Chains A and B, each alone.
Chain A
Amino acid sequence: MAGFRFDLRDTPAGAPALRATLRAFLAEAGRDWPPIVPAYSWMGFDRAFSREVGKRGWIGMTWPATYGGGERTAMERYVVLEEMLAVGAPVGAHWIGDRQSGPLILRLGTEEQRREFLPRIVSGELAFAIGLSEPDSGSDLASLRTRAEKVPGGWRINGRKVWTTNAHRCDFMIALLRTGPAQDPKARHQGLSQFLVDCRLSGISIRPILDLVGEEGFNEITFDDVFVPDAMLVGTEGNGWEQATAELAFERAGPERYLSSLPLLTAALDDLRAEPAAPETVGRLLARAGTLRQMSLAVAGMLQDGKTPAREAALVKDAGNDYEQALPETLRALIDPARTPPQVREMLGLMTMVARSYSLRGGTREILRGIIARQLGLR
């Protein structure tokens, strides 16, 4: 079909053993997780958990040993990710560093940056946030206005970022900032650069924003004459747009784009046995889950081969978000509160609320479908 390619990929030969180790670890670690943990899944932030994950070599798995990486394959890493997500582990303290910031530093960072940051991401010590959205720049990201101005020895940042997940708990963020001349409407994508910004620098104030669940998930960050040294520029000055969009294939392709609500199905299943409509509904959900998993694996395989399947990733994210968002609502139709354990009822309620974010974060449904439509040749 018009420019989309999905070739089936197998998980690696050692997958069953790797899964067994992960499952034993997660069963132990997750013994006392309250429903809010799986409900928040990879937005959940738990430094102690991330350090344990780091100790076991499950962060930076594909990176070179020089920087503490495990030199494993991308498909092995995929197995680890899906095992974490299947139980809704609170991976947020290392998720962004492992998925995006670390690979960016590895690909485009200086040798100094690699040595400084990568080993500490691998150990689960260093938590990263993504500084993209701004109060007036959401889906239209290229309109962003937060500026980094050249000053002797570094850059001075002024402006605001918003919706930055967990920034108030993170150590660093990778911020996309305007370094070029004042915005020319014809060249909005030029003059942007990426910086490593220490979240504790003087001049930065981070204000947590309560989400509709009542959690402090995301933030508004104000930069008031914040100085960052030259050494914190990532990649090439002015090249930030290309650099940031190249990350999107990684950001959008992962199993976190369809598995966010699966723990609810697992938790609710046994109590659905008496419900006559359950077999058909559960069957449809599993048929889709298995298919999305194969689509996601196909994209992971392309990434492992060094390709940049940005369009396929957009398509899988869109389809996956629809799925994970509909799942709580679909199960709600089956669940009889009187026959359902309180833990499951609570998880259903939480996921009903959290699921709103699935089709917003990492590119809204409408933006993704616009990308897909362009690939289909619609203008």
Chain B
Amino acid sequence: MTERLNVLGLAKTYPEFALGPLTFDLPAGYIMGLIGPNGAGKTTTLRLLLDMAQPSAGEFTLNGAQTADARQQARDDLGAMLDSTTLPDVWTVKDIDDNMHRLFRRWDSQQFMELVAQFDINPKTMYRRLSKGTQNKVNLAVALSHHAKLLILDEPMAGLDPIARDELRQLLQAYIQAGDASVLLSSHLTDDLAQFADYLLYLIHGEQRFFGETDTLLNRYLLVQGGSSELTAALEDHGLGLRQTSVGFSLLLPTTDQALAAGLVTSTPDLDTLMIYLGKRGEDHA
């Protein structure tokens, strides 16, 4: 299987923050979600993959290119959108369309103008006069309009209403449908992601907590609920993110320990629930 991304031991150390080592891969034709609380290192990870920051250790292959130089050569094959992405202030949509031909060999004017219409962007407004949210939509439209084999998108769903989010999800699913292109996107809208992302990369405090198929993460834990008197020492010992109230308790229990929860109310947690319990401060293993 062709791999769009192959990441091995990638790490970045700042005086105040350490990310990694990260090891994961993304085959052609799939969607990967990058999740984690604020400050987990999601944007730093994407910046490393875009060669906007130098890794302190490790290596990665992107669209088959193993070095920063080779990746620069193959820039056409990569579509990116970060919150910090900007275009010249005075450009209108028309100017962007005119100029992107030079940057991208497979620039698709028709696709770009369709997305501009779909995203409700005024084509006559200069870039700097657009709201931050609309600027992001312009950047997203650019990323989606040059037939890149890999899209790297930082919070593309942020600031979109439910209708626009649904449209974007459909666009991304259509993007990978032929089986050649892949998408890596970060998002806080984890219930959305849990449904359509094939793979998840889950970071907390710069550390890779999980990489794998979405269902594998969801099936790794059970949400256990019960009355206060039903909380045993074994449950407290094996459970994660324990919450106690006057009427009972809840915790996440590794599925492998499910015998401890016999007779209690158990359910498969959704991704939000999972991240809330696992992200609870003081918890140290995933």
Pairing of A with B: no
**Which chain A residues have a beta carbon within 8 Å of chain B's beta carbons?**
none
- Residues on B close to A: CB < 8 A? none
